[in-house]
Amino acid sequence: MTLLDERAEHDVHPAEPAVDSDEQAPVRPRLLGRRDRIELAVAAAAGLTGSGAMCLVFDWSHPLTYAIWALIIFLLSTYLLARDSQSPVVASDRLVTTLVWTSGVATVLVLVWMIVFVVAKGLPGLSLEFLTTDMASVGPLDDGGGVLHAIVGTVQQMLIASAISIPIAILTAVYLHEVRGRMTGLVRFVIDAMSGLPSIIAGLFIYTIWVLQAGNQPSGMAAGLALAILMIPTVARTAEEMLKTIDDGLRESALALGAPQWRSVMQVVLPTARSGLITASILGVARAIGETAPVLLTAFGSSSTNWSPVNGPQSDLPLFVYQLLRQPNENQIQRAWTGALVLVVLVLVLFVLARIIGERGARARGGSR
């Protein structure tokens, strides 16, 4: 109803650019004038009310159904309104604009939904006790218990993985961008292949050499190795991007002063790229910290706190969550959600940290991104 009314109103004063005396400039279809805004508002109203009416008539109660139909009606009416008042070209442009905006908004909404959901589910179980006890003496039906053993495992495994992978990855980036040896092309190819390596395959690989071949126990060390494999390509690629932003003048000045290449890299290039390299490393850690599958295969998981990364099975946060989630028991599932909350908070902290350091570094380099 509203749709027709508004349409009629428009037909009374069709805005023709040539007639409008105060509008010298040609119509630019990208900019939204007053009329376009009204059209959008009308389309939005049509979508909201139309979908509401359909929900009433067909007795749908699901919010998602409402949203989908509202969007469809909105798209249709924007298209028709613009086609009617301007041209098919403008109409399809507006249609695509709306679709593109929808995909952006939908992504942000999904992300917010996910984080809010985890926080809402996990918060009831969060307490100081949860962070400072392990599950060694806690039966499945008991209250209490916590993630201490998983946090210990996560910290140790991440330290091991970082200690192994970050030097290797940064040296690889230096090889790719500074040394440029004969195998540059091949190495870049392999790093690409590695960045798509399924995490469970990395776990399987370490399992075959660490447990089957070398005869060791599954342990935090093995998990650290598997996570290192996953971190190398992420860190190496980001670090290479960071090295690319360093001005060539700096390198040449160092060489012109008589410095050999290794000193120019170690004392000029890498220190200049420091914040970027730290960002790269943190992003690598943020990727590896959430990996469950390789840890499942290499550290096996355990319910008691194992302070030794080389001796016996260990747990970590994602594995803790995964193993509890597969048990048909409300108490355990609540613990899993709280564990997931701790994990998400860790990832968020790392992510924000990487952003802050990266931005400070970019500003120090003169605002260039």
Partner 1 sequence: MTPETISRPDADDQQPRAIARTLTTGDKVFRSLCACAAMVSLFVIGGTAIFLGVKAVPALQEAGIQDFLTTSVWNPTVGDYGVLGLLIGTIIIATVALVVAVPLALGLALFINEYAPASVRRTLTSSVDLLAAMPSIIFGMWGLYALQDHLVGIATWLNAHLSALPFFRLTEPDALLVKSSFITGCVVALMIVPIITSVSRDVMAQCPRTQCEAALALGGSRWGMIREVLLPFGKGGITGAVLLGFGRALGETIAITLVIAFVVEANPNILESGGGSIASLIAIKFPEAQEIEISALIAAGLALFAMTLLVNLAARAIVRRTQIAA
Based on the shown chain and the rule CB under 8 A, indicate whether residue 316 belongs to the binding site for partner 1.
no
Q: Considering only residues 194, 310, 345, 362, which one is a binding residue for partner 1 as defined by CB under 8 A?
A: 194
230 to 249, contacts with partner 1 by CB under 8 A? 232-233, 236
Based on the shown chain and the rule CB under 8 A, indicate whether residue 292 belongs to the binding site for partner 1.
yes
Based on the shown chain and the rule CB under 8 A, indicate whether residue 330 belongs to the binding site for partner 1.
no
Residue 156 or 292 with smaller CB distance to partner 1: 292
Residue ranges in the chain assigned as alpha helix (H):
2-12, 34-58, 63-85, 88-122, 128-132, 148-174, 184-195, 199-206, 220-244, 248-256, 261-264, 270-272, 274-289, 293-298, 317-325, 330-364
Contact 78, 39 (CB under 8 A): yes
Based on the shown chain and the rule CB under 8 A, indicate whether residue 263 belongs to the binding site for partner 1.
yes
Give me the least distance between CB of 2 and partner 1, in Å please.
Answer: 27
148 to 187, contacts with partner 1 by CB under 8 A? 167-169, 171-172, 174-176, 178-179, 181, 183, 186-187
Give me the least distance between CB of 74 and partner 1, in Å please.
Answer: 16
Residue 106 or 123 with smaller CB distance to partner 1: 106
Based on the shown chain and the rule CB under 8 A, indicate whether residue 345 belongs to the binding site for partner 1.
no
Give me the least distance between CB of 152 and partner 1, in Å please.
Answer: 18
Give me the least distance between CB of 32 and partner 1, in Å please.
Answer: 12
Based on the shown chain and the rule CB under 8 A, indicate whether residue 40 belongs to the binding site for partner 1.
no
Exposure b/e, 181-219, CB count within 10 A at least 16 = b: eeeeeeebeebeebeeeebeebbebbbeebbeeeeeebb
269 to 288, contacts with partner 1 by CB under 8 A? 283, 286-287
Based on the shown chain and the rule CB under 8 A, indicate whether residue 74 belongs to the binding site for partner 1.
no
Based on the shown chain and the rule CB under 8 A, indicate whether residue 307 belongs to the binding site for partner 1.
no
Rounded distance between C-alpha atoms, residue 268 and residue 252, angstroms = 10
Rounded distance between C-alpha atoms, residue 232 and residue 226, angstroms = 10
Q: Which two tokens stand for residue 109?
A: 């909404």
Give me the least distance between CB of 346 and partner 1, in Å please.
Answer: 9
Q: Considering only residues 69, 74, 79, 322, which one is a binding residue for partner 1 as defined by CB under 8 A?
A: 322
Based on the shown chain and the rule CB under 8 A, indicate whether residue 367 belongs to the binding site for partner 1.
no
DSSP labels, 66-126: HHHHHHHHHHHHHHHHHHHHS-HHHHHHHHHHHHHHHHHHHHHHHHHHHHHHHHHHHGGG-
Rounded distance between C-alpha atoms, residue 107 and residue 67, angstroms = 15
Residue 130 or 300 with smaller CB distance to partner 1: 300
- Which of these, 286, 315, 284, lies nearest to 298 by C-alpha position? 315
Place of tokens 């109803």: 1
Give how many residues touch partner 1 by CB under 8 A. 97
Q: Considering only residues 9, 33, 189, 250, which one is a binding residue for partner 1 as defined by CB under 8 A?
A: 189
Give me the least distance between CB of 159 and partner 1, in Å please.
Answer: 18
Place of tokens 């980036």: 173
Q: Considering only residues 20, 142, 143, 192, which one is a binding residue for partner 1 as defined by CB under 8 A?
A: 192
Exposure b/e, 160-175, CB count within 10 A at least 16 = b: bbbebbbeebbebbbb
Task: Report residue 214 CA to chain centroid gap.
Answer: 36
Residue 41 or 99 with smaller CB distance to partner 1: 99
85 to 144, contacts with partner 1 by CB under 8 A? 89-90, 92-93, 95-97, 99-104, 106-108, 110-111, 113-114, 117-118, 121
